[in-house]
Amino acid sequence: MDRMIPEAWHQQLTVFAQQVETVRAALPHPPQWAAALQEAVAGMETSLEELSLAEEERQQHQMALAEAQQATTALAQWYQALFDLAPDGYLVTDTHGIVQELNQAAASLLAIRQDYAVGKPMVLFVVPEERRAFRTWLTALSAPPRRQACTVRLQPREGR
């Protein structure tokens, strides 16, 4: 539980606990403990107000985060729709040339299902005479900048 309480609040609560002990020690002397009790109560009220404000701020941050997540999801869906419905074929690979995603146009041009190509080496779809150049490009991709475009001719599954 202590890890969840910010350090400043933990220190403040420790002070209040000490003040309560002061009140207990002063119980036989009513004028002394009344002042200590008032001080402890005032401190606790201040801490409760701070906690209330912190909770309100946390809720506002949580709402802003939820809105940002919704916007990010909408943007991702928009990107995916643009990518999938683009008239040109696009394949995205990792730095090892493994297909991460491809759009519907690329799948159609290669005469394959989209899920068939994902996870396979892209070199399988490159025309044989360009495979060496493609592998050289992949090797160069390991040095910055890591995001580079490469244009190669691809061969449909039937070899046409």
Query: Per DSSP, what are the bridge partners of residue 126?
Result: 154
Please state the pTM of the whole predicted model.
0.55
Which tens digits make up the pLDDT trace of 119-141? 999 999 999 999 998 888 888 87
| Planar angle of CA 120, 121, 124, nearest 5 degrees | 100
**Whole-angstrom distance, CA of residue 9 vs CA of residue 12:** 5
Which tens digits make up the pLDDT trace of 149-158? 777 888 887 6
Q: For residue 159, give the H/E element and its range.
A: none
The answer to whether the CB of 98 falls within 8 A of the CB of 114 is no
Give the range among 27-36, 62-71, 73-82, 145-154 with minimum mean pLDDT. Answer: 27-36
Given this model, what pLDDT does residue 120 score?
94
Mean pLDDT value across the chain: 83
Please give the CATH architecture assigned to the domain spanning 86-140. 2-Layer Sandwich (3.30)
Torsion angle of C-alpha atoms 48, 15, 39, 4, degrees rounded to 10? 0
Position 1 pLDDT exceeds 50: no
